[in-house]
Each structure stands twice: as C-alpha cells, then as structure tokens.
Amino acid sequence: MSKKHRITSLLAMLSLFIMLSACSEANEQQASEEEPTSDADQETSANDYVLTDALGNEVDIPANPERIIASYLEDHLVALGVTPIAQWSIHDGEGVQNYLQDYLTEVEPIPFDLPFEAVTSFAPDLLIMSSADLVSEGKYEQYARIAPTYVVAEATNDNWRETLTQLGDVLNREEEATATLEAYEEKAQKAAEQLSDQIGTDSAAALWLTNSQFFIVSKHVSSGAVLYDDLRITIPATVEKVSESATGNWSAISLEELVELDADHLFLINSDSSDGSEMLDDPLWQNIPAVQQNQVYEFSPDTSWLYSGPIANEQIIDDVLSSLTVE
C-alpha cells in the first residue's frame, strides 16, 4: 500500500472513531435525561426548603409540616391557621393558656421545658423554639435529632408582630401573617378612636394580684403595649416610673405605692379570687382613687391579659372596650 493510501485509510478510521464516540456520548446523555428520579429526590427538591435561624443553624423546613411543636407560640400559630400537635403547659398539664382553648381543645399538653422524651413521643416533624434559652447547653443538637429545629430569636422577643411575621416566613404563610396584622391594626385603630371619644385623656393601668402580691405591667410589653401603644390610653406617671427599671413584663408594687397610683381606671387580673383576695379588703387598697370611684375592672387569670400575641391582644382590646365604653 502506498504512503498516500495509508494516510487516507488512517484518516478514514479516525473519522469513524470520532463519529462513534459522538454517538455514544449522545446516547448516554439521552439515557441520563430520561432516567426517572426517585420520589424522595423529587419531594426534597420541590417542597422542602432551607432557612437559617437566629443561631445560624441551617434548618430543612418541611413544606407542609403537620406535627408542629412551638411551645408558648401557640397564639401565633393559631392566628396563622396552624394547629400544633402539642401545647405549652405547667403543673403536669393542668395549667395551659386558657384563652386559647377554643382553638386547642383536642391538643394535648406538653411540659413547658420540653423534655426530650415528651417531645419524641409526639413524633413532631418541626420544632420551633421561641428563644435560645430553650436550646442552651447542648440541647439543640438533641432536639435536632428528633425533628428539624428552628430557633426564632436569640433572646425573648416582646415584639409579637415581628414574631408573627417570622413564623409566617418559616411556615410559608406570609399572606396569612400580613392579613392578621392588617386586621389587628384596623381593629386597634377603631378602638383607639372610640376610646378617645369616650374617656378622653383618662389614664389606666393593669394590675395583677397573685399570692397576695400586686404587680403592675410595664408600658411597652404584654397588655401594657396594647393599652398605651395600640389604644393610645394615657400612661400614668407611676407606670412610667416603674417601666424605667423593669426587668420583666410585670413588676412588683406595694399597696403603699398603689395608693399613689395616678390611674383613672384599673384593670385587675385576680389570681387570688379562689383564696378570698384578702389584699382587696386592705384599707390601703380601698383608698386608691380608682377603687373609690368604682373604676376597677376585674378579670380572671384565664383571660388573655397575662399573655401577648394577635389573639390575646384582640381579646384585651375587647375587654377594654367593654369596660370603658358605653354603647
């Protein structure tokens, strides 16, 4: 074979090799594209999503969790249209958030400190922790072995609006969160206008009587935020003073200090009613101006006054209106 023929043959063989390789690669690519993915792979990619919580944990959030535990955040969940699998409780389940029980009648209690065994028994598919305290000292890792665990805030957040918005993001219920906030703001605005017409610049304070000790609410937390921020009721000087050094939502206050309380109206949450409420018979209590003017409005601890959230605060607004306004 001549040199020219050998070169021609080699070129032909090379062209054939390239064509066969190309066809092989095309077939492999087509087979790969046509190969079905597993249901699990499709579910993970299409539904679950990852969010970073307040502690920097990347959490795989189920798209439609059905067994949520969010201790002491039940108010927010209910407002978003979500029913948890368990609810916060104390005293071996005897103490729950009574004002929510119309929504949680079938929901079993779980101890407030969330023991691992109790959490496991509910087989949750998502755990939502209100603050880092609940997962301190290595608890996070143990909870995360039970179910995806999302921590809302590093410290306790007294701003229920922020918490509701965040939970709306976590649970893919942003529209429900927005609608809840808009409805609340509208209700509060109308109530504030109605109260302004009825009581003008009258002041008010919320007191809690428990174990023969009075406590007064601070101005920007719990029911204080409803009274003064949302309903724009005048803040008594005593509340202003107490709020400056308050370390919690409610601060202890003596009867002697209450006599000086410059509040035209008092909302009393009475946890001592079953024990006779002896403090209310004390002459000092009887000398408080609001008491003498019969402008004290008493509520049981089963009501929402000791809590905070969209449902609790709406109920507080209703209580204030029923106490201070006349149809």
Q: What local confidence, expressed as pLDDT, does residue 46 receive?
A: 55
Q: What local confidence, expressed as pLDDT, does residue 170 receive?
A: 97
Q: What local confidence, expressed as pLDDT, does residue 16 receive?
A: 45
Q: What local confidence, expressed as pLDDT, does residue 158 receive?
A: 83
Residue 253: closest CA among 239, 269, 272, 233: 239
Q: In the chain, at which residue ranges do the beta strands (DSSP E only) sit?
A: 49-52, 58-61, 68-69, 86-89, 108-111, 126-131, 149-153, 204-210, 213-217, 250-253, 265-270, 296-299
Q: What local confidence, expressed as pLDDT, does residue 37 receive?
A: 41
Sign (positive/negative) of CA torsion 168, 169, 171, 175?
positive
Alpha carbon distance 26, 200 (integer Å) = 81
Alpha carbon distance 94, 184 (integer Å) = 30
Q: What is the pTM of this model?
A: 0.84
Contacts of 38 (CB under 8 A, 6+ apart): none
Domains with residue ranges and CATH for the chain: 44-172 (3.40.50.1980), 191-324 (3.40.50.1980)
Q: Which residues of the chain have pLDDT under 50?
A: 2-12, 14, 16-20, 22-28, 30-45
Q: What local confidence, expressed as pLDDT, does residue 196 receive?
A: 97
b/e 36-55 (16+ beta carbons within 10 angstroms → b): eeeeeeeeeeeeeeeeebbb
- Residue 255 in contact with residue 281, Cβ under 8 Å? no
